[in-house]
Structure 1
């Protein structure tokens, strides 16, 4: 591979924003990809994947390069040189790469790879927390799996097409996909591509949604004609799936504290031809109280640490703080207590997170079930999804039923 100066400069500029200014990697990359209209798909792919790669392995590469945060541009070029050397890329004769100790880089990599926190490029506190919650063996496997780049998974919108038809439509565009066992509406892209420019996407034939995330709506056991509340809907990936599973019959009420996210859901619903979704911004507790004892099904896709989705959000490894996890656990319990009251007698509730930590998952469910409100519910089943077993995001979901 030959390195091109303008692409490398884009990578360094992106890393500056992510590491030194705390910007989110996905937003930074979106901006970088608009930088030069002459770039082809290979150029854009190089910028996006290199930025994500260096973000993912920040601690390991910085340790090898012997640099510490905040990184100045010279430090970032040193880290870039480590990335390139470990990939066997010949460094060009640029001033940034003068005196790069190629042999030493490989030796330091071998040496540091003996220690998990360097090998998997994570903070000390995160490594300690993972071991405490999952044990050495499971945590080692899980964090290793979470450091692998995520596949591009599509969820077929069954309101507009079928899995077979979509696969054929994409094949005609040169995009090969494959079915995934146990995921009835999922297609995996065999090679990464920008699917958002396709007519199939513009016509609402699919959404991009990880395979694990696709299991959540199905876990809720919805039927056409039901009243279903998605209590933390966000931009609505799961609400759209619920609408499809309900064949546009009945009602999906999408709640969120952020009105701008619900506006995005409205746009997506229009494209998906999902007409049974109603959005309600939570501007006061009245919005929730009006729904008490009214819903057949309630989905609580709770805010969480996001430790199960590090594949697609590697910068979370550096943004997350232990205090945030402690605070979010209090929020999770408050949400369970509040939104569980929306379920009517005989109805069902799913509590889900994209975390792999038991303290955010089953322990929260157990705390809820021993509370006054929780005693009205029966635990039905749970699904603990680990990346090292599934190959997809880490997720948790528990199904509870309100006693009649």
Structure 2
């Protein structure tokens, strides 16, 4: 493989924004990919995948390169040289690579790979927290899986098509997919591709959604004609899935504290052919109180640490702070306490997170069930998904029924 100067410069610029300016990796990559119209899919793939890989292994590569954050551009080139050397890529004779100690890099890599926090490139506190909550063996397997690149998974929009027809349509656009057992609406891409440029996407035949995330709407046990509230809807991946499970019948109230996210949902709903969603911004306690005792079903896709989706957001491990994790547990309790009041007698709710920590999952449900509001509920079933067992994102979901 030959390194091209303009692609390498794009990678260095991206890393500078992510590591030194705190920008989000996915946003930075979107900007980088628009940088040169002459780049083909292979060029864009190189930029995106190299940036993600170096972000994923920042701690390991920086340790080998013997550099400390904040990184100046020379330090970023050193980190890049470590990445290239470990990939077996021949370094060109550019000034940035003079005196790169290839043999020393490989020796240091072998040495550091014996220590989990370096091998998996995670902050000390996350490593300690993970092993404390999941146990050494489980955490070692889980964090290794969380460092692999995630597959691209699609969810078929059953309001417009079916899995077979979607597969054929994508095939006509040179995109091969395969079905996944136990995931009735999922298709996995055999090779990475920009699916957002396809006719099938523009026609609203599918959404990109991880296989684990697709199980949440199903878990809520919705039926056409119900009144369903999705209280942390965000940009609405699960809301749209609920709409298709309800065959566009009944009412879904999508709520979020961020109006900007609900605006994105509005655009997505139009493309999906969904028209049973009403959107409400949670700007006070009023919208919640108005719905007390009214919902047949309630989905609480709670804010969380995101430690189940590090494969998708590798920069999150450097942005996450211990105090955030502590504070988010408090928020989860409050959300359960306040929003559960919307469920009517005999109604059901799902509490879900994309975290693998029991303290954000089972423990939160246990705590809620002993509270004054929670005493009215009983746990029907719950599901814990770990990435190293499923091959997909880490998730938790609990189905509760109001007596």
Instruction: State how 1:57-96 maps to structure 2 within 5 Å.
Output: 57-96=57-96
The SS at the match of 1:224 is: coil
Q: Deviations over 1:41-93 (max 9, x none)?
A: 00000000000000000000000000000000000000000000100000001
Superposed displacement of residue 20, structure 1: 0.3
Output the CA distance in 1 between the equivalents of 2:264 and 2:18: 25
Instruction: State how 1:349-364 maps to structure 2 within 5 Å.
Output: 349-364=349-364
TM-align CA RMSD: 0.4
Instruction: State how 1:229-308 maps to structure 2 within 5 Å.
Output: 229-308=229-308
The SS at the match of 2:130 is: helix
Instruction: State how 1:37-52 maps to structure 2 within 5 Å.
Output: 37-52=37-52
Superposed displacement of residue 283, structure 1: 1.4
- State yes or no: 1:16 paired with 2:33: no
Superposed displacement of residue 5, structure 1: 0.2
The SS at the match of 1:174 is: coil
Q: Deviations over 1:322-343 (max 9, x none)?
A: 0000000000000000010000
Output the CA distance in 2 between the equivalents of 1:88 and 1:211: 33
- State yes or no: 1:171 paired with 2:171: yes
Instruction: State how 1:5-404 maps to structure 2 within 5 Å.
Output: 5-403=5-403
So what's the TM-score if we normalise by structure 1? Answer: 0.99
Output the CA distance in 2 between the equivalents of 1:180 and 1:346: 33
Superposed displacement of residue 174, structure 1: 0.8
Output the CA distance in 1 between the equivalents of 2:284 and 2:371: 24
The SS at the match of 2:255 is: strand
Superposed displacement of residue 179, structure 1: 0.1
Q: Deviations over 1:125-150 (max 9, x none)?
A: 00000011000000000000000000
So what's the TM-score if we normalise by structure 2? Answer: 1.00
Output the CA distance in 2 between the equivalents of 1:192 and 1:278: 34
Superposed displacement of residue 379, structure 1: 0.5
Q: Deviations over 1:101-136 (max 9, x none)?
A: 001111000000000000000000000000110000
The SS at the match of 2:308 is: helix
Output the CA distance in 1 between the equivalents of 2:117 and 2:257: 36
Segments ≥4 residues shifted beyond 6 Å = none
Number of paired residues?
403
Superposed displacement of residue 284, structure 1: 1.2
Output the CA distance in 1 between the equivalents of 2:260 and 2:172: 36
Output the CA distance in 1 between the equivalents of 2:197 and 2:359: 40
Output the CA distance in 1 between the equivalents of 2:97 and 2:160: 53
Superposed displacement of residue 392, structure 1: 0.5
Output the CA distance in 2 between the equivalents of 1:108 and 1:118: 11
